[in-house]
Amino acid sequence: MSRDIAGKVILITGAAGGLGAALCQRFGSAGARIAAVDIDADRLDTLVAKLRSSGVEALAKPADITDSGACEKLVAATLAQFGALDGLVNNAGISHRSLLADTSPEVIRRVMDVNFFGATNLTQAALPQIVARQGFIVAVSSVAGFAPLTGRTGYAASKHALHGFFDSLRSEVEGAGVDVTIVCPSFIRTGIGAAATDGGGAPVSSPRITTGGESSPEEVAGKIFEAARTRHTLLLPDATAHKAWWLSRLAPGLYARIMKRRVGGEFPGLP
C-alpha cells in the first residue's frame, strides 16, 4: 500500500539548497507540512518564505545536527509547531576530495560527524514519534555508500556506515509499520561538490570529475518522494547508479578499475 503524504509532517535536513530545497518543495506540493533544517539560517529563511508563498506550511529551524541535544530540540520544536512528526529525510551532507595520504584526521572526523552521526542523532531523537505514527525514514546515501570512490575515503566511509545503520534499523522497526528507504544517487547538480574540502579542510578549487552526467535536484527529489510514498527500501535514482550497483557486485575488480580511471584524473599524483 502506498502512503498518503497530504497533511503529514516531514522533517528534512540540508534543506537550504540543492536536493534539500527540492525535497521540501516536492513534499510540500503534495500537501505535506515541512520542518526545514539547515545550518545556514539565512538561506533557510529564504526557502521557507518561498514555501509559504506557495501555500506550504513550513517551519525554519537552523541547527547543527552533529549536536545530539540540538536534534532533540528540533524534534520538540516540530511537535510544538505541528503536533506530529510522520517522516524524516536525512539529506544533510558534506564531502572532501583528497587522497588519504593527504587528508588530516580532522577532515574525516568532520565528514563522519555530519554525514553519519548527524543522521543517527536526528533519527534517534525522532524515532519514538516516527514509530507512534507508523511513519517513514529516508537516508540519502550515494553510490559511494556501496562501492569505492577514489579520493573520498572519509565520504565513502560515512555513506557505507549509513547502510549498516539504516538496514539494521529497518529490521528493528518494519514490524511496527515504519519504512526505511536508502537512496543512492550518483552525481547531482547541487552545491556539495563546490563545497567539498581538500585534505586540510580548505575549499577545493578544482572542479570535480563526473561520469554519466548529472541529475537535477528536482528530478532526484521527485524519485525520492515516490520511493517514500510507495515504501521502497532502496532507490537507485539514475542510470549510473544502477550500472554501478550491478557492476560493483558482479565484477568488483573491473568496477574499481573503471572508477579509478574516470575520477582518478582529479589526483595527478595517483599511481
Does CATH place domain 9-266 in 3.40.50.620?
A: no
Cα Dmax for the chain: 56
C-beta separation of 150 from 255 below 8 A:
no
> Nearest to residue 126, comparing CAs of 177, 91, 166, 76?
76
pLDDT at 270: 80
User: Can 155 be counted among the known catalytic residues?
Assistant: yes
Say whether pLDDT at 195 is over 70: no
Say whether pLDDT at 194 is over 60: no
H or E element that contains 189:
none
SS3 of 149-168: the string is: CCCEHHHHHHHHHHHHHHHH
Per-residue pLDDT of 214-241, as tens digits, reads: 789 999 999 999 999 999 999 999 999 9
Between CA 102 and CA 99 the distance in angstroms is 5
Q: Nine-digit cell at 112?
A: 563522519
Q: Nine-digit cell at 91?
A: 539529506
Q: Nine-digit cell at 123?
A: 533519527
Of residues 29 and 268, the one with the higher pLDDT is 29
> Residue 48, class by beta-carbon neighbours within 10 Å (0-12 exposed, 13-18 middle, 19+ buried)?
buried
Over residues 139-165, the mean pLDDT reads 96
Of residues 215 and 166, the one with the higher pLDDT is 166
Q: Where are the domains of the chain?
A: 9-266
pLDDT at 211: 60
Q: At what angle do helices 217-229 and 18-29 cross, to 10 degrees?
A: 50
Q: Nine-digit cell at 101?
A: 595520504
> Residue 249, class by beta-carbon neighbours within 10 Å (0-12 exposed, 13-18 middle, 19+ buried)?
exposed
Q: Nine-digit cell at 48?
A: 521557507
Residue of 155, 187, 225, 255 marked catalytic: 155
Q: Nine-digit cell at 271?
A: 599511481
Between CA 14 and CA 12 the distance in angstroms is 7
pTM, two decimal places: 0.93
Which amino acid appears at position 237 of this protein?
P
Q: Are strands 87-90 and 58-62 parallel, antiparallel or unpaired?
A: unpaired
Q: What is the b/e burial string over 7-28, where b = at least 16 CB atoms within 10 angstroms of the residue's CB?
A: ebbbbbbbbbbbbbbbbbbbbb
Of the ranges 93-107, 134-148, 189-203, 213-227, which one carries the lowest mean pLDDT score? 189-203
Residue 58: strand pairing partners: 34
Of the ranges 34-43, 100-109, 232-241, 257-266, which one carries the lowest mean pLDDT score? 257-266
Average pLDDT of the residues of the chain: 93
pLDDT at 202: 82
CA 259 to chain centre: 22
Question: In the chain, pLDDT over 90 holds for what percent of residues?
Answer: 84
> Nearest to residue 75, comparing CAs of 110, 121, 42?
121
> Nearest to residue 115, comparing CAs of 57, 52, 173, 197?
197
Per-residue pLDDT of 52-86, as tens digits, reads: 999 999 999 999 999 999 999 999 999 999 999 99
Q: Return the SS3 of 123.
A: helix
Over residues 33-60, the mean pLDDT reads 97
Strands lying side by side in the sheet with 234-235: 58-62, 33-38, 9-13, 87-90, 136-140, 179-183, 234-235
